Amino acid sequence: MPFEIKPGVHWVGKVDWELRTFHGQEYSTHRGSSYNAYLVRGERTVLIDTVWGPYAEEFVAGLAALLPLDQIDHVVMNHNEPDHAGSLARLMREIPGVPVHCSRMALQSIPGQFHGDWNLVPHKTGDVLDLGAGRALTFVEMNMLHWPDSMASYLSGDGILFSNDAFGQHVASEGLYADTVDPCELWAEAVKYYANILTPFSGLLQKKLAEIAALGVPIEMICPSHGVIWRENPMQIVERYAAWADAYAEDRVVLLYDTMWDATRLMAEAIADGLRQALPGTEVRLFNTARTDKNDCITEIFRARGVLVGSPTINRGILHSVAGLLEVATGLKFQGKKAAAFGSFGWSGESVKHIAQALEQAGFEVVDPGLRLKWRPDAGALEQCREFGRRFAAAL
C-alpha cells in the first residue's frame, strides 16, 4: 500500500513476503524482498521504476488509486531487470506516450526484453530532468552496478538518492525503513546481497562512490529498489559499501566441504582444531556445502580471510555441491583471500588437485599444496590434519 516518505514523494512498490528464491533459483531470499518504486508529485509528476511482472496488475491499480494515471508526466527506469521493469509494459498500456527516461545502455535492455514501442529518452551522468517548483532529478550512470544499464537518480530539493539495486537488501518488512527492522536481520541480508551480487564490481563501486561524493550534494535519504529505505544516517550503508568494496575480510577462517562417508568431515573438524590451536582469537566456521544454502556459503567466504575447501574424490572429480560453489565463487572474483584444499580418497585421489586449481582460477591465493588422505583418517592422519590447520594458520 503506497505511503509518503517525504511530502509529495510516495513509495508505490510491492512487498513480497512469499519470495524464497530470486534470479530463478540462484539467490535464496529467506526473508522475502520488496520491489520499491517511487512517485514524485509536483508541477510535473514522475514515477521511478516499477515492480516485478507477477504484481503488474496490483501495481497499476495501486497507482490509479493514488492519482489519475494520465497525471504521470515521466517514467524513470533506473534499471531494467524484470524485477523492476516487469510491470512497465502493463503500465505503458495506460500511458503509451509518456517519456521513459533511462540510461543509454537501456536502449538495448528495454526493447530486448519487453519489445515495446515506447518513447525512450536516454541519459548520461549529469543530465537533469526539471520537475518544477525547485525539484529536479539528476541522473548518474551506474554501469555494471550491477547491469550495464543501471543508473541512479538524485532528487534535489529533497536530497533523496534513488539508488536502485545499490544499497538494497532482500528483506520484506511492513516498516520499510532501516530504523524499523531488526538490525541483525537487516545487516545479515545487506552483506549477503553485497557478497552474492556486487562483489565482482567492487573496483567500479569504489570509483562510483567517489564520484557520488564529488557531487557534493546533500543525501538525506537513500531509497534502494529492494528492502528498506535508509533515512537515519543514510550514509551508514555507503560507509559499509566502501569497506565491503575494499578486499573485505574479517578475522575468520571458513571450512567448506562435502563428504560421502564422513572421512572428509573428520578431516575438516581436525583441521579446524589445528586452526583454533594456532589462532585462538580467530573465528573458525565449518559448513557442509551439500547441507548449507549456497548463497550463505558465499557470504561466509566473503567475510573470511582464509578459506579451506574439501571434497572426497568421486569419479576422478569432486562432489557437485563443492564444484557448484567453486563455479559461483569464480564469477564473484573475491580479492585478497588465502585458500587451500583438502579431501579424502580411496582409489585415485584427484579431488585436492581439482579444488586447488579451481581456487586459483577463482582468484584465491592458494598458500598450501593441500592435504589428501587415503581412506578414513586414523589418529595419526587426524594429527596430520591438525598440523595442516596450523600450517594454514601460519600462512594467513
Which residues here bind ligand FEO, judged by CB under 6 A?
79, 81, 83-84, 146-147, 165, 225-226
Catalytic residue among 10, 74, 84, 146: 146
d(CA 93, CA 201): 36
Secondary structure tally for the chain: helices H, strands E:
12, 22
> Is 273 marked active-site?
no
Which member of 74, 123, 170, 226 is catalytic? 226
Which one is catalytic: 27, 55, 193, 194? 193
Contact criterion met (CB below 8 Å) for 78 and 152: yes
Looking at 79, 84, 101, 354, which residue is catalytic? 79
d(CA 22, CA 210): 30
CB of 103 or CB of 225, closer to ligand FEO: 225
Q: 22 and 35 in contact (C-beta within 8 Å)? A: no
Compute the distance between CA of residue 351 and CA of residue 6 in angstroms, rounded to an integer.
Answer: 57
Q: Helix crossing, 351-361 with 320-332: angle to 10°?
A: 20
Q: Which of 73, 141, 165, 258 is catalytic?
A: 165
CA nearest neighbour of 76 among 49, 55, 103, 58: 49
In the complex, the smallest distance separating the C-beta of residue 146 from ligand FEO, rounded to whole angstroms, is 6
Nearest approach in angstroms of CB 225 to ligand FEO is: 6
Which CB atom, from 12 or from 382, has the smaller least distance to ligand FEO?
12
Contact, 105 vs 124, CB < 8 A?
no
Nearer to ligand FEO, 161 or 358 (CB): 161
Catalytic annotation on 101?
no
Q: Which of 81, 149, 258, 300 is catalytic?
A: 81
Q: Which residues contact 10 (CB under 8 A, 6 or more apart)?
A: 2, 3, 4, 38, 39, 41, 66
Q: How far is the CB of 392 from ligand FEO (least distance, A)?
A: 36
* Residue 10 falls in the annotated catalytic set: no
Cβ at position 38, least distance to ligand FEO in Å = 14
Minimum distance between the CB of residue 173 and ligand FEO, rounded to whole angstroms?
A: 17
Q: Known catalytic residue: 146?
A: yes
Please indicate whether residue 248 is annotated as part of the active site.
Answer: no
123 has catalytic annotation: no
Quick one: cell of 166?
A: 545499490
My answer on whether omega of the bond before 146 falls inside 30° of 0, hence cis, is yes
In the bound state with ligand FEO, the residue whose beta carbon lies nearer, of 79 and 135, is 79
* Residue among 165 and 258 whose Cβ is closer to ligand FEO: 165
Alpha helices in the chain, H assignment, sequence order: 56-66, 82-85, 88-94, 106-114, 183-193, 202-215, 235-244, 263-278, 294-303, 320-332, 351-361, 379-395
The single residue of 16, 49, 73, 83 carrying the catalytic annotation is 83
Instruction: Write down the residue that cell numbers 569464480 correspond to.
Output: 330
Cβ 190 to ligand FEO shortest distance, Å:
14
Q: Which residue is nearest to ligand FEO (CB)?
A: 81
Cα separation of 350 and 355, whole Å?
9
What are the angstrom distances between the C-alpha of 213 and each of 144, 225, 242, 249? 19, 21, 12, 24
Cβ-based nearer residue to ligand FEO, 16 or 83: 83
Catalytic status, residue 149: no
Nearer to ligand FEO, 191 or 290 (CB): 191
Q: What span, in angstroms and rounded, lies between the C-alpha atoms of 156 and 375? A: 66
Tell me whether residue 30 is one of the annotated catalytic residues. Answer: no
Q: Work out how close the CB of 82 gets to ligand FEO at its nearest, in angstroms, rounded to a whole number.
A: 8
Q: Which residues are catalytic?
A: 23, 79, 81, 83, 146, 165, 193, 226
